[in-house]
Amino acid sequence: MQILPAIDLRGGKCVNLIQGIAEQETVFSHNPVDMAMRWESEGAEYLHLVDLDGAFKGESTNLKIVGEIVSKLTIPTQLGGGIRSMEQIKIVLDLGVDRAILGTAALKQPELVTKACSIYHERIAVGIDARDGMVATDGWLEVSEQSAIHFAKELSVVQTLVYTDIKSDGMLKGPNVDATAEIVDAASAHVIASGGVTSLSDLEALKDIGASGAIIGRALYTGDLLLSDAIKTAS
């Protein structure tokens, strides 16, 4: 299982939100590029980037910083947040981002996922963000009538899913292992778990259910988890 440190970008800073609530923001660094280089130096093999401004506004607004991060790293990155058209996908991938994550667009424009995967193949991932088992969109501000499990089953053209349980995100109380297991079982794609990972036992639980990766955000920044320990446990 792969460990992906998270860098959530908002207003050019590295931040973390509790349950995706904009008002519940903690700023962990004013220099996301330095933070990305730190995670690589500590052994990260893949980096998870989120453009929160893009998620809320529907267009990427931190691409300059993303480009700087990519240019400084030797490890691959994935980016989600506000990527909702073929043009935006191309811009992101042309920056050197290894994988573009479609979230809101994947639910509202399924044809976009099909087209993007036909062109970019494994470089397209879909993020399934769920609140009480239902898919949330538009920076988690809206909750659809689509169940996360049913949505996961529909995404047969996608090779990677990023599953986030919103109520767990940023809470430091552990991931929703049962819900993640249902997604792993339902999906044909590899599933990267996100939201609430706080301890080595959390990682062991996710590894046991077959998650291909785990995204860790707040716990790395608070020191609740050391990246080296997380990588060792997951391997």
- Contact status, residue 217 vs residue 192, Cβ threshold 8 Å: no
- CB burial of 135-158 (b: ≥16 within 10 Å; e: otherwise) equals bbbbbbeebbebbbbebbebbebb
Catalytic pick among 51, 53, 98, 129 = 129
* Active-site choice (8, 53, 169, 202): 8
Amino acid at position 234, single letter: A
**What is the spatial distance between Cα 199 and Cα 230, in angstroms, rounded to a whole number?**
8
- Residue 178 burial class via C-beta count within 10 angstroms: exposed 0-12, middle 13-18, buried 19 and up: exposed
129 labelled catalytic: yes
Does the annotation mark 34 as catalytic?
A: no
Contacts 24+ apart (CB under 8 A), 201-210: 202/174, 202/175, 202/177, 203/1, 203/3, 203/230, 203/233, 203/234, 204/233, 205/175, 205/177, 206/1, 206/175, 206/177, 206/180, 207/1, 207/233, 207/234, 209/177, 209/180, 209/181, 209/184, 210/181, 210/184
Catalytic positions, written as ranges? 8, 129
